[in-house]
Amino acid sequence: MSNHTKQLTSKQFAALTASAIGVVFGDIGTSPLYAMKEIFREHLTLETSHVLGVLSLIFWSLMLVVAIKYAIIIMRANNKGEGGVMALTALASTATAKNNPDKKHIIIMMGILGATLFYGDSVITPAISVLSAVEGLEVIAPKLEHYVIPITLSVLAGLFIIQSHGTAKVGKIFAPVMVLWFLTLASLGVMQIVQQPQVLMAINPYYAIHLLSELGVKGFLIMGSVVLVMTGAEALYADMGHFGLKPIRYAWFGFVFPALLCNYFGQGALLLQHPEAIENPFYLLAPSWMLYPMLVLATLATVIASQAVISGAFSITKQAIQLGYCPRMNVTHTSDSEIGQIYVPTVNWMLMFSVFILVVSFKSSSNLASAYGIAVTGTMMIDTILSFIVIHALWRWNSIVTYSFLGLFMLVDSIFLSSNSLKILSGGWLPLAVGAVLFLIMTTWMKGRAVLAEALDEKKVLFEELEDKIATHELVTVKGTAIYLARNLHGIPQVLLHNLEHNHVIHERIIVLTIVITDEPYIDNEEQQIKIRTFGHQKQFYRVKLYFGFKENPDVRYALSLAIKKGLDLDMNNVSFFLGNEHITFKRRSKMPAWRRGIFLFLFHNASSALGFFRIPVEKVIELGVRIEL
């Protein structure tokens, strides 16, 4: 969509910008619920210099990291209009590592680490967001305090249960609700700023520097809570493929950023007048008659923020599957028109289970806040490094500008990350544990696939050798076409040899089909999507390669219909697909480390079938058992 924003009418552009407000900014837009309260828990008093110092830190953190780093610089690094850590990883690896496998491996490992930290964030965001909204009950009706956790769990349960039905219908209310949310944030903030206009002085970075120098080491600890105002910043980049660069930038600079600043500065103004409001400065901004509507609006906003993160987890899982970083899972498409509307049952229920445990274990948003920052700052640092590689190797910016970018943002990211690392024991271990487990799973899967590909390559038989085998065997020729799915790009698959050896039959026409997922999000050109070669004196053997982008849905039936148009002699009514049902064992001296073998076997045997994933017609499939020793 981002490639077409130049052709949009002003009305369409406005609608796209409003939609972006509804989806992209939910996470960062709900931070005012808890950020200010958490910052003031860190060695601060409510005197004027401390309030102005905190507001200055908030302003410059949002300006440097979200506005300049993400909205202005990193969002330029799009992979055919797509953003996010996976797209950035693909861009960085192609930019610098074409002839250097070691560099490419390091970049891919960084991308996987960024993706696994995102999953850690995906677990915490729904829990802390919805919990902080429902905690408004403690302000509105203290007697109902013991209902906070049951209500939170009920709201979250409803959210995860509706995922299988798709979010298209619910998504229509996202934009109006979030626009109303940001307007409310701004209005409540301005009401307080008018009474205490001195808070606007905090735009001067002097107040931030003075606060940090006054507090010394304690000021370093504050930065671990300041990062809460930036949670969700990476969503600007990750969702670029859905809405485009310009709509997201316009929404941020023209609406969301000013609204957030108004609310944070309004909370600061409230604290100058009423220090006791630190109990819950967000809800105490509102007049008493607005408290119940605010509770409902805040809960809706946090549900929307949670939805964006859950959808993001589905999307990144699908990309990881396509790129070969994790096993195939069942991916359900919940919309006929929107390619991004998907549902991954395994991820959904694992997220729900994890979120429930968090809410019940941590019990309050304040306790969860200590677990939040480390996943966010880790992902931000990886984005900085990968963006530097793109700027340096692909864009070839001036060296001074390039290294200034790296130096400034690595310094900022390092301060935030190291400050949050001090909270590992009090909850920060949680996203790290989630990330570590997923990193282990993904790297084990990649290692296993590499060893499997090498083993198959060693047994590779070329088409010319196949002709010799056929000539020396008495085979029965049957009518029709046999399509054999092959992992490797060269040679013929073991399942074909297996069929010839045991069944002694050969089809009139044999197609060896390989599906290739590229480092690009989409393959726009049909000529690039399909490659066909013929082999044999009678031209009865075909090698067909189907290329798909990592954000596309591999559809074998559709791709073969395009191949027929390109001249492939094929009748889809007279076709049999042969798949190898591979049984893997390991040699004593296998290249697969012993401690990884059990993990890989579990993943391999529990991966979903290629049939549904590649949309192969089930009624035309024949599976043959093949034993492979690694």
Give the domain ranges of the chain. Answer: 2-447, 459-629
Q: Quick one: average pLDDT of 321-345?
A: 77
Most confident by average pLDDT, 262-276, 466-480, 505-519, 583-597? 262-276
pLDDT(3) > 70 = no
Triad 206, 260, 416: Cα angle to 5°: 55
Cβ within 8 Å of residue 59, ≥6 positions away: 202, 203, 208, 261, 264
Q: What pLDDT does residue 5 have?
A: 41
Give the C-alpha separation, 449 to 440, whole Å.
Answer: 14
Average pLDDT over residues 10-32: 87
Alpha helices, DSSP H, located in 227-362: 234-238, 240-243, 245-251, 257-273, 291-322, 345-362
Condensed to tens digits (0 to 9), the pLDDT of residues 464-475 reads 777 777 777 777
Cα(524)–Cα(157) distance, rounded to whole angstroms?
A: 39
CB-based burial, 118-143: b 16+ in 10 Å, e otherwise: bbbbbbbbbbbbbbbbbbbbbbbeee
Residues 242, 225: Cα–Cα separation, whole Å: 31
**By CB neighbour count within 10 A (0-12 exposed, 13-18 middle, 19+ buried), where does 5 fall?**
middle
Give the whole-number percent of the chain exceeding pLDDT 90. Answer: 32
- pLDDT value at residue 167: 62
Q: How confident is the model at residue 4 (pLDDT cuts 50, 70, 90)?
A: very low
What is the C-alpha to C-alpha distance for residues 176 and 301, in angstroms, rounded to an integer? 11
| Model confidence at 196: pLDDT above 50 | yes
Distances, alpha carbon 210 to alpha carbons 216, 265, 413, in Å: 10, 18, 20
pLDDT at 31 over 80: yes
What would the pLDDT profile of 75-125 be if each residue is shown by its tens digit? 888 777 778 888 888 888 877 766 677 888 889 899 999 889 888 888 888
Specify the pLDDT at position 397. Answer: 87
* Statement: residue 553 has pLDDT above 60: yes
Per-residue pLDDT, 2: 40
E-strand spans in 137-224? none
pLDDT band at 1 (very low <50, low <70, confident <90, very high): very low
Backbone angles phi, psi at 121, to 5 degrees: -65, -40
Mean pLDDT (whole number) for 223-242:
86
Q: Is the dihedral of CA 584, 581, 520, 309 positive or negative?
A: negative
* pLDDT per residue as tens digits for the range 397-437: 888 989 999 999 999 999 999 998 888 888 888 888 888 99
526, pLDDT greater than 80: no
Q: Rounded to an integer, what distance in angstroms lies between the CA atom of residue 77 and that of residue 395? A: 9
Q: Report the candidate in 118, 263, 231, 239 with the shortest Cα–Cα distance to residue 174.
A: 239
Under 8 Å CB-to-CB from 535, ≥6 apart: which residues?
463, 464, 467, 541, 542, 543
Residue whose structure tokens are 């043959």: 624
Average pLDDT over residues 371-387: 89
Task: Write down the pLDDT at residue 197.
Answer: 94
Q: Give the mean model confidence (pLDDT) for residues 157-177.
A: 80
Strand partners for 476: 505
- Give the pLDDT of residue 262: 96
Looking at residue 99, its pLDDT comes to: 65
Angle between helices 217-226 and 365-389 (to 10 degrees): 90
Distance CA 522, CA 98 (A): 20
DSSP string, 448-502: HHHHHHHHHHHT-B-HHHHHHHHHTS--EEEEEEEEEE-SSSSSB-HHHHHHHHH
- Token pair 């083993």 is found at 455
Specify the CATH number for 2-447; select among 1.20.1740.10, 1.10.357.10, 3.40.600.10, 1.10.1040.10. Answer: 1.20.1740.10
